[in-house]
């Protein structure tokens, strides 16, 4: 707390009193032109503005981060979230792919088969869709979840699906392996608090106007409830630029990696809103150090009921996966190593080369980050 130049003793005493009332330890340091008052204690609960407004206070500067469980200071080692045999935040970059929304059994199956073939490790797909307009398609609900679950099972892919509301937690949990919180709900604190009590990983998208600090505070709500499996997901922030739907903030990746131990993935589909921008930004996200991607793929995007414009064709997704596998070694990581019953790896043609390459740098992965 920095006092104004020439603040009176009385003003300084009044500030110290206010801080003591808040049960904080106070340490005064009197400088030549200004007095600075240091404060120790549970400052996370204090609004700096409430002190800044006191007479004679020039500025209040926060020294420690307002979140704790989400901070790397508290947990120095990277958190790895495990779902089945998929490890998010480890040495492999994990790609989740699938349709924006489940529409029909055939569409879900065709898309799931395609993304599995290309090497995706998770199936993503929505059954409850938040839409700006009340007149837009809102998802199939539980029926959609059933379609997604069946396809997930058929292809051995854990399922990520969105939960919009406390009331939906129960039904979505029954079908999905990872519960996604959408950008618009990033500060739906009731929902976050409930998800802290759930025993499934939570994928928390960043709100389009949320600072990284607020995003981590929202993660803190879930963590504080006892659920330590939080995956952060950058999906673009709102800026003045309208050439893309949002501005994908890839710098958030190294920033989060420094201050937090939580894995961070990127959704280039919602972040750009245009198919022809998804591929370059997906590559960029991996190159910037993302632990994974969430990519919309649709077996027939031109007829999708929602977000068709940003869904990749299966062949585009397959090409993208090949490109990502080339990038992997640049960051000392593998990207969606093909596994399955050996059969799959054989038929992969051009991408097999990149596998070889990944093997080549096999030593590398031991040490990263």
| Window 135 to 194, contacts with its own copies (CB under 8 A) | 135-137, 164-167, 184-185, 187-190, 193
Please report whether residue 130 would count as binding its own copies according to CB under 8 A: yes
Scanning residues 82 to 121, which ones bind its own copies (CB under 8 A)? none
- Among the listed residues 16, 284, 337, 345, the single contact to its own copies using CB under 8 A: 284
Scanning residues 189 to 218, which ones bind its own copies (CB under 8 A)? 189-190, 193, 207-209, 211-214, 217-218
Scanning residues 11 to 30, which ones bind its own copies (CB under 8 A)? 18, 21, 27, 29
CB of 40 to its own copies, least distance (A): 7
Scanning residues 33 to 52, which ones bind its own copies (CB under 8 A)? 34, 36, 38, 40, 42, 44-45, 47, 49-52
Q: What is the 3-state secondary structure (H, E, C) of the chain?
A: CEECCCCCHHHHHHHHHHHHHCCCEEEEEECCCCEEEEEECCHHHCCHHHHHCCCCEEECCCCCCCCCCCECCCCCCCCCEEECCEEECCCEEEEEEECCECCCHHHHHHHHHHHHHHCCCEEECECCCCCCCCCCCCCCCHHHHHHHHHHHHHHCCCEEEECCCHHHHHHHHHHCCEEEECHHHCCCHHHHHHHCCCCCCEEEECCCCCCHHHHHHHHHHHHHCCCCCEEEEECCECCCCCCCCCECCCCHHHHHHHHECCCEEECHHHHHCCHHHHHHHHHHHHHCCCCEEEEEECCCHHHCCCCHHHCECHHHHHHHHHHHHHHHHHHCCEECCCCCCCHHHHCCCHHHHHHHHHHHCCCHHHHCC
Please report whether residue 77 would count as binding its own copies according to CB under 8 A: no
Binding part of the chain for its own copies, among 105-113, 152-160, 269-277, 343-351 by CB under 8 A, reads 269-277
Q: Which is nearer to its own copies, 167 or 315 (CB)?
A: 167
Please report whether residue 347 would count as binding its own copies according to CB under 8 A: no
- Among the listed residues 26, 113, 171, 224, the single contact to its own copies using CB under 8 A: 224
- Among the listed residues 117, 270, 277, 338, the single contact to its own copies using CB under 8 A: 277
- Among the listed residues 110, 113, 255, 345, the single contact to its own copies using CB under 8 A: 255
């Amino acid at each position: 707390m920095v006092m104004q130049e020439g603040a009176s003793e009385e003003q300084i005493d009044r500030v110290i009193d206010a801080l003591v009332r808040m049960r904080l330890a106070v340490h005064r340091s009197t400088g030549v032109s200004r007095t600075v008052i240091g404060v120790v204690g549970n400052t996370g609960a204090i609004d700096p503005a409430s002190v800044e407004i006191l007479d004679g206070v020039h500025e209040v500067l926060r020294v420690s981060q307002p979140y704790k469980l989400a901070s790397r200071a508290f947990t120095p080692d990277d958190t790895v979230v495990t779902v089945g045999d998929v490890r998010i935040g480890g040495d492999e970059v994990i790609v989740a792919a699938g349709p924006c929304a489940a529409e029909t059994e055939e569409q879900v199956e065709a898309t799931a088969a395609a993304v599995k073939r290309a090497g995706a490790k998770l199936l993503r797909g929505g059954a409850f869709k938040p839409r700006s307009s009340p007149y837009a398609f809102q998802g199939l609900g539980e029926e959609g979840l059933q379609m997604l679950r069946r396809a997930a099972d058929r292809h051995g892919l854990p399922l990520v699906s969105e939960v919009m509301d406390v009331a939906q937690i129960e039904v979505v949990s029954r079908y999905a392996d990872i519960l996604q919180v959408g950008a618009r709900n990033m500060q739906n604190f009731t929902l976050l608090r409930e998800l802290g009590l759930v025993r499934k990983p939570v994928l928390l998208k960043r709100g389009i106007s949320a600072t990284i600090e607020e995003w981590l505070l929202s993660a803190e709500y879930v963590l504080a409830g006892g659920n330590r499996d939080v995956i952060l997901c950058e999906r673009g922030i709102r800026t003045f630029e309208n050439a893309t739907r949002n501005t994908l903030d890839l710098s958030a990746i190294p920033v989060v990696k420094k201050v937090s131990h939580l894995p961070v993935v990127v959704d280039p589909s919602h972040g750009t809103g245009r198919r022809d921008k998804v591929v370059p930004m997906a590559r960029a996200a991996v190159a910037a150090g993302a632990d994974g991607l969430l990519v919309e793929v649709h077996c027939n995007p031109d007829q999708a009921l929602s977000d068709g414009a940003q869904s990749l064709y299966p062949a585009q997704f397959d090409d993208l996966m090949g490109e990502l596998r080339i990038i992997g070694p640049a960051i000392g990581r593998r990207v969606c190593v093909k596994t399955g019953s050996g059969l799959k790896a054989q038929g992969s043609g051009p991408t097999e080369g990149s596998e070889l390459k990944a093997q080549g740098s096999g030593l590398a992965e031991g040490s990263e980050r």
